[in-house]
Amino acid sequence: MEKRELLYEGKAKKIWTTDDPNLLISEFKDSLTAFNGEKKSSEEGKGALNNMISAKLFEYLESRGIPTHYVKMIDDNHMLHKRADVILIEVIVRNIATGSLSRNLGIEDGKVLPFTLVEFDYKNDELGDPKLNDQHCLILNLVEDESELDYIRYMARKINKFLNQFYAELGLKLVDFKLEFGRDRYGNIILIDELSPDNFRLWDAKTNEKMDKDRFRQGLGSVVEAYQEVFNRIENRKETN
C-alpha cells in the first residue's frame, strides 16, 4: 500500500490517501508543539515512537473488543488505517487532577479523582479547543443525538479501564488522556487518531516522573528518551488475561 495524495497535515501527522478509497496512511512527524502551537520544536525519532506505541495500544484495545480504525503498521513512521469521518469532539478522560483541571478549578495537583471524569472539547484550533457541554454538541451538530454522546462517554470509560490496567502493569500511572472518535463507512462510531504519549499524561508509579509531552511543555528533558522508556516497557510486558 502506497501513499497517493496528501489529504491533511496537522501538528503531529500527515494523512495520505491510498489506492483504496476506504484506507488511509498516517505519517507520524517528529515535530513537537504545545500551547496551541505557540511553542514548537522537534526531536528525531519522536514520530516513530508515537506510531509504534499507538500500534501496540490499538492492537491491545482491539483484542478487548474496542472498534478502532487501525489496520496495521507499515513501517516505523507510517500506519495504515480505515477512513473515518472525524467527530469534532476531543474526549478528555481524567483520573488524576493536573494541568488545566487544577488551574481552572483549584483542585490539588496530583489528587486522585473520586471517579473518572470525561470532558468534551471542541476540536477547533482557531477557537482554542473550547469546552463543550451536551447542548453545545447538539447545537453544533457534532453528533446526531444525545445517545451518541452517551455512547462516546461509555466507550471512553471502557477504554480508560483497559488502559489503566495496561499501564499499571508497566509501573505507570495513567493520569489523563485525549481520545478522538469517527464514523466508519457503515456509520459506526470507532476510535481513531493516535494513542501516544503526545496525547497521554503518564507518570512513573514510583517517582511520579513525567513520561509524556509535559516534558516538552515544562522543559523537563528529552521527550524521545521518555517515549523510548514507555515503548520498552510495553515491549517487555507479559500478556495477562
CA distance 89 to 181: 8
Nearest to 204 by CA among 169, 237, 172, 168: 172
Mean of the pLDDT values across residues 77-99?
98
Kindly state whether residues 66 and 167 are assigned to the same domain: no
Strands (E), 97-225: 112-122, 131-132, 172-183, 189-192, 200-204
Nearest to 59 by CA among 47, 49, 73, 46: 73
Helix, strand or coil, per DSSP, at residue 14: strand
Strands (E), the chain: 6-9, 13-17, 23-28, 31-34, 39-42, 70-75, 78-82, 85-86, 89-96, 112-122, 131-132, 172-183, 189-192, 200-204
Instruction: Write the CATH number for 40.
Output: 3.30.200.20
Nearest to 144 by CA among 111, 105, 114, 189: 189
Kindly state whether residues 73 and 93 are assigned to the same domain: no
Kindly state whether residues 13 and 53 are assigned to the same domain: yes
Q: Could you tell me if residue 232 is inside a domain? A: no
Average pLDDT, the chain: 96
Kindly state whether residues 45 and 114 are assigned to the same domain: no
CA distance 80 to 75: 10
pLDDT at 54: 98
Q: Could you tell me if residue 91 is inside a domain? A: yes
**Residue range 20-61, pLDDT digits in tens:** 999 999 999 999 988 877 788 999 999 999 999 999 999 999
**Residue range 121-132, pLDDT digits in tens:** 999 989 999 999
Kindly state whether residues 168 and 200 are assigned to the same domain: yes
Model's pTM, two decimal places?
A: 0.95
Q: Could you tell me if residue 181 is inside a domain? A: yes
pLDDT at 145: 97
Please provide the distance, in angstroms rounded to a whole number, between the alpha carbons at the two ends of the chain. 34
Phi/psi class of residue 187: alpha, beta or left (left: φ > 0; alpha: ψ in -120 to 50)? left
Q: What length is written for the chain?
A: 241
Kindly state whether residues 120 and 215 are assigned to the same domain: yes
Q: How many helices (H) and strands (E) does the chain have?
A: 6, 14
Angle at the Cα of 125 from the Cα atoms of 203 and 225, rounded to 5 degrees: 30
Q: Could you tell me if residue 100 is inside a domain? A: yes
What's the structural domain count of the chain? 2
Beta strand 89-96 pairing with 70-75: unpaired
Q: Tell me the residue range of the domain where 142 lies.
A: 86-222
Kindly state whether residues 96 and 143 are assigned to the same domain: yes
**Residue range 158-192, pLDDT digits in tens:** 999 999 999 999 999 999 999 999 999 999 999 99
